[in-house]
């Protein structure tokens, strides 16, 4: 039997999704269903002094108007982000301050616009600035890294370098825009809470809901069989779930609550804007001797969220003298949150742009420059990487792209009005593992079922786990079923940080191995009721936690820029990646191409346009927050090199959800410089910056 792993199976749920039978969070039917609509604060900072819900309540079909004066009480010590409708304080514009529940979504929406709130408005501070005297050093950066890391002596090394660059970069805020907004259906029965949720992982959501509502964990069940994308925005329990559960408690009926697209822009998280300074000292051969990366980002007054912007620089290239720092501004803004390749996305834009400037300064080819600064030893820990195929990605990418004999001269290729250029960048993302558990059952009819509370947020994780399970059971895939997306299943961490498949597959393999051992003991005679085993990999995972493990890549871009209007078009995007074992080439390619496309969108289009006067974004819909559309996206090619890593997990899987975006924007910005001679250090690359 040939292995299932490595085969390009179509998604198991693909048919259900395209025929509309796959149910998402607000598509589950329920008897007596009611609809809720969130009411956002219309001030930036202050205190609610009065709530008048008479006009809202007068709308036909309105069942309840919840606010801080009448909502069910939540435990105060669980999560400040979720502690809503409990107190009159407003911390940011768009903060949920009331919820309307009605018989229909139309009535709920109309009434939501009629809830009148009076405020005592206080002055606000929302502008991210490198000159902010209140910038501070957080205790750590996400998820738990030191804020500042020093090796050697940067100042001395930099002063002594023959080539020195001191560069400033800025990235704006970005908004997670999954097709499915944050959405929940909540219902209570006999003191038990059942939620269908859009979360990227329900194991932590179950526990947090239990604590918020003072319930035993077993009294809460959260289901997310299908999730319409997340990109990190749904990584943990979000406020709409809590609001839906409160609303359901009050009206004693199942309640659906989906955020509007407008409400997705800010209140539930976004990628922080960054201000970055990169200094590179190098020899005339382009070998880096000193690197410093200082990153500034923002958090809210509600909770601390510290983007790990400079992390990329800690582990990517060799240099004896190095320093990375993070500082944060605490502003009257919504709390930033996770968005695809947090930290590495803005950080790689800065470092990989700076390397392009170094290549030009030293007159070394950009691919060659990265090869010269390659290292088999993690510069931060001093330990060898478990595997490192950056050079293979660079070399293979250069070959596939046709990089050889590139003339590095900027603004030297013109056809009619079009200036053309090519650029490239390195890429990497940590290959982390999280604890997980799974169970496997053999049935007397020769079929198997594998269960794990993993989440398929559209990535194809269900299909990949099914392939992994079939091989581990040495069974034809047709005899294997996979159950996931339900807290009734063995606990596992959310789909985030590119940890999903690497961690879940480990637990699935161990469960299947254990089951096979027991079947051997029974000589294959499966009891009539089936044979069940359940395993946890937590101890195994903990034993490996400190190894430096990364996926790598190389990104290449070709652009053309209209010399008269500055219009920029990406003509070609090509990436080569080293992401460990490839479980399913079809779903892997989709992840990589999706990430690269998101990087293109970041380079040219996406931008949260913040207006400090109003303390919010001027653009908060998909008309004014432009995400690259089909016409903007050329042929995007993703390839991979053989990347074996025996120290990662049983199959050597690295995870590929995020690496596709890392470096993509820098490759495009570098190509734009090659085309025009204009170096854009502040994204996005809009035409005004090129003229």
The set of catalytic residues is: 658
What's the CA gap between 233 and 261, in Å, rounded? 13
Structure tokens that stand for 176 in this block = 């997670």
Q: How far is the CB of 494 from ligand MOS (least distance, A)?
A: 7
What's the CA gap between 542 and 623, in Å, rounded? 46
Q: Give the footprint of ligand MOS on residues 312-341 (CB under 6 A).
A: 338-340
Q: How far is the CB of 202 from ligand MOS (least distance, A)?
A: 14
Q: How far is the CB of 200 from ligand MOS (least distance, A)?
A: 6
Q: How far is the CB of 499 from ligand MOS (least distance, A)?
A: 8
Specify the residue, 126 or 348, whose C-beta has the smaller distance to ligand MOS.
348
Specify the residue, 158 or 174, whose C-beta has the smaller distance to ligand MOS.
174
Q: Which of 544, 448, 533, 525 is nearest to 490 (CA)?
A: 533
The span of 59-67, 231-239, 401-409, 590-598 binding ligand MOS (CB under 6 A) equals 231-239
Q: Give the footprint of ligand MOS on residues 497-556 (CB under 6 A).
A: 497
Structure tokens that stand for 73 in this block = 């009480």
Q: Give the footprint of ligand MOS on residues 143-172 (CB under 6 A).
A: none
Q: How far is the CB of 72 from ligand MOS (least distance, A)?
A: 30
Q: How far is the CB of 495 from ligand MOS (least distance, A)?
A: 6
Residue 546: how many other CB atoms lie within 10 Å: 9
Question: How distant, in Å, are the alpha carbons of 345, 592, 602 from that of 599?
Answer: 8, 11, 5
Size of the site for ligand MOS (CB under 6 A): 11
Q: How far is the CB of 153 from ligand MOS (least distance, A)?
A: 34
Structure tokens that stand for 17 in this block = 């999704």
Q: Which residues are CB-neighbours of 668 under 8 A, at least 6 positions away?
A: 423, 557, 559, 570, 573, 599, 600, 603, 604, 685
Q: Which of 112, 101, 265, 102 is nearest to 182 (CA)?
A: 265
Q: How far is the CB of 143 from ligand MOS (least distance, A)?
A: 9
| Cβ burial, residue 133 (10 Å; 0-12/13-18/19+) | exposed
Residue 354: how many other CB atoms lie within 10 Å: 25
Bridge partners of 421, per DSSP, are 559
Specify the residue, 181 or 342, whose C-beta has the smaller distance to ligand MOS.
342
Q: Give the footprint of ligand MOS on residues 447-506 (CB under 6 A).
A: 496-497
Which residue's CB atom is positioned nearest to ligand MOS? Answer: 232
Q: How far is the CB of 497 from ligand MOS (least distance, A)?
A: 4
Specify the residue, 194 or 661, whose C-beta has the smaller distance to ligand MOS.
661
Q: What is the separation of C-alpha 38 from the centre of its chain, rounded to a whole number of angstroms?
A: 25
Specify the residue, 174 or 231, whose C-beta has the smaller distance to ligand MOS.
231
Specify the residue, 342 or 580, whose C-beta has the smaller distance to ligand MOS.
342
Determine which helix (DSSP H) or strand (DSSP E) holds 676, and give its type and residue range.
helix 664-676
Specify the residue, 213 or 231, whose C-beta has the smaller distance to ligand MOS.
231
The span of 80-88, 90-98, 227-235, 627-635 binding ligand MOS (CB under 6 A) equals 227-235
Q: How far is the CB of 654 from ligand MOS (least distance, A)?
A: 14
Instruction: Using CA atoms of 527, 465, 458, 10 in order, give the dihedral in degrees to the nearest 10.
Output: -90
What's the CA gap between 163 and 183, in Å, rounded? 53
Specify the residue, 291 or 339, whose C-beta has the smaller distance to ligand MOS.
339
- The contact mask relative to ligand MOS for 195-214 (x = CB under 6 A, - = no) is -----x--------------
By CB under 6 A, tell whether 232 contacts ligand MOS.
yes
By CB under 6 A, tell whether 661 contacts ligand MOS.
no
What's the CA gap between 579 and 482, in Å, rounded? 24
By CB under 6 A, tell whether 235 contacts ligand MOS.
yes
Specify the residue, 379 or 496, whose C-beta has the smaller distance to ligand MOS.
496
What's the CA gap between 156 and 140, in Å, rounded? 26
Specify the residue, 339 or 468, whose C-beta has the smaller distance to ligand MOS.
339
The span of 226-234, 305-313, 518-526, 581-589 binding ligand MOS (CB under 6 A) equals 226-234
Q: Which of 316, 279, 289 is nearest to 394 (CA)?
A: 316
Q: Give the footprint of ligand MOS on residues 342-371 (CB under 6 A).
A: 342
Give the full edge-to-edge strand order of the sheet including 192-197. Answer: 62-67, 96-102, 34-40, 255-258, 183-189, 192-197, 220-223
Quote the DSSP letter at residue 103. Answer: S
What's the CA gap between 212 and 234, in Å, rounded? 18
Burial 82-121 (b: 16+ CB within 10 A, else e): bbbbeebbbbbbbbbbbbbbbbebebbebbbebbebebee
Kindly give the residue spans of alpha helices, DSSP state H, lying in 235-310.
239-251
The span of 33-41, 229-237, 375-383, 589-597 binding ligand MOS (CB under 6 A) equals 229-237
**Beta strand segments in 212-320, E:** 220-223, 255-258, 274-282, 288-299
By CB under 6 A, tell whether 236 contacts ligand MOS.
no
Q: Which residues bind ligand MOS (CB under 6 A)?
A: 200, 230-232, 235, 338-340, 342, 496-497
């Amino acid at each position: 039997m040939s292995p299932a792993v490595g085969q390009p199976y179509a998604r198991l749920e693909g048919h259900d999704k395209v025929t509309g039978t796959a149910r998402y969070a607000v598509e589950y039917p329920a008897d007596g269903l009611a609809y809720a609509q969130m009411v956002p604060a219309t001030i930036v900072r202050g205190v609610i002094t009065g709530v008048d819900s008479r006009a809202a309540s007068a709308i036909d079909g309105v069942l309840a108007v919840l606010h801080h004066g009448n909502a069910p009480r939540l435990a105060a010590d669980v999560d400040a982000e979720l502690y809503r409708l409990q107190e009159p304080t407003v911390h940011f514009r768009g903060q949920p301050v009331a919820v309307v529940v009605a018989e229909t979504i139309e009535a709920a929406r109309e009434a939501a616009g009629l809830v009148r709130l009076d405020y005592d408005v206080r002055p606000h501070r929302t502008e991210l600035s490198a000159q902010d005297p209140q910038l501070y050093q957080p205790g750590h950066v996400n998820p738990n890294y030191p804020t500042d890391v020093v090796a050697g002596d940067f100042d001395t090394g930099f002063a002594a370098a023959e080539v020195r660059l001191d560069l400033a970069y800025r990235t704006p805020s970005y908004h997670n825009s999954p097709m499915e907004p944050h959405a929940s259906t909540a219902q209570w029965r006999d003191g038990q809470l059942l939620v269908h949720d859009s979360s990227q992982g329900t194991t932590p959501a179950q526990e947090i809901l239990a604590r918020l509502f003072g319930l035993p964990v077993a009294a809460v069940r959260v289901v997310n069989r299908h999730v319409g994308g997340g990109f990190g925005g749904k990584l943990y329990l979000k406020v709409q779930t809590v609001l839906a559960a409160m609303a359901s408690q009050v009206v004693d009926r199942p309640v659906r609550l989906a955020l509007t697209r407008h409400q997705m822009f800010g209140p539930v998280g976004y990628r922080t804007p960054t201000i970055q300074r990169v200094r590179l000292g190098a020899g005339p051969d382009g070998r880096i001797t000193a690197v410093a990366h200082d990153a500034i980002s923002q958090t809210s007054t509600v909770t601390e969220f510290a983007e790990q912007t400079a992390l990329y620089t800690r582990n990517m290239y060799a240099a004896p003298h190095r320093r990375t720092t993070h500082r944060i501004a605490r502003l009257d803004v919504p709390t930033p949150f996770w968005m695809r390749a947090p930290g590495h996305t803005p950080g790689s834009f800065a470092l990989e742009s700076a390397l392009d400037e170094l290549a030009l300064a030293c007159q070394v080819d950009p691919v060659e420059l990265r090869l010269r600064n390659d290292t088999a030893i993690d510069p931060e820990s001093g330990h060898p990487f478990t595997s490192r195929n950056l050079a293979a990605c660079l070399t293979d990418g250069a070959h596939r792209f046709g990089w050889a004999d590139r003339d590095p001269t900027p603004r030297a290729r013109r056809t009619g009005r079009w200036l053309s250029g090519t650029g490239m960048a390195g890429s990497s993302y940590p290959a982390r593992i999280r604890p997980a558990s799974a169970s496997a059952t053999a049935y007397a009819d020769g079929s198997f079922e594998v269960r794990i509370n993993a989440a398929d947020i559209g990535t194809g994780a269900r299909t990949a786990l099914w392939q992994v399970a079939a091989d581990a059971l040495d069974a034809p895939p047709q005899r294997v079923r996979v159950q996931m997306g339900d807290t009734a299943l063995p606990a596992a961490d959310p789909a985030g940080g590119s940890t999903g498949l690497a961690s879940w597959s480990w637990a699935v393999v161990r469960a299947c191995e254990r089951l096979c051992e027991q079947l051997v003991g029974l000589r294959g005679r499966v009891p009539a009721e089936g044979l069940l085993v359940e395993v946890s990999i937590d101890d195994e995972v903990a034993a490996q936690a400190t190894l430096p493990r990364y996926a790598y890549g190389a990104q290449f871009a070709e652009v053309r820029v209209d010399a008269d209007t500055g219009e920029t078009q990406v003509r070609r995007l090509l990436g080569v990646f080293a992401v460990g074992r490839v479980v399913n080439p079809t779903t892997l390619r989709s992840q990589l191409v999706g990430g690269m496309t998101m990087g293109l969108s970041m380079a040219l289009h996406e931008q949260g346009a913040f207006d400090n006067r109003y303390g919010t974004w001027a653009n908060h819909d998909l008309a004014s927050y432009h995400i690259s559309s089909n016409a903007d996206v050329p042929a995007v090619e993703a390839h991979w090199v053989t990347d074996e890593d025996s120290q990662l997990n049983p199959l050597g899987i690295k995870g590929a959800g995020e690496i596709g975006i890392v470096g993509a924007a820098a490759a495009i910005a570098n190509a734009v410089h090659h085309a025009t001679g204009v170096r854009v250090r502040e994204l996005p690359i809009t035409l005004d910056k090129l003229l």
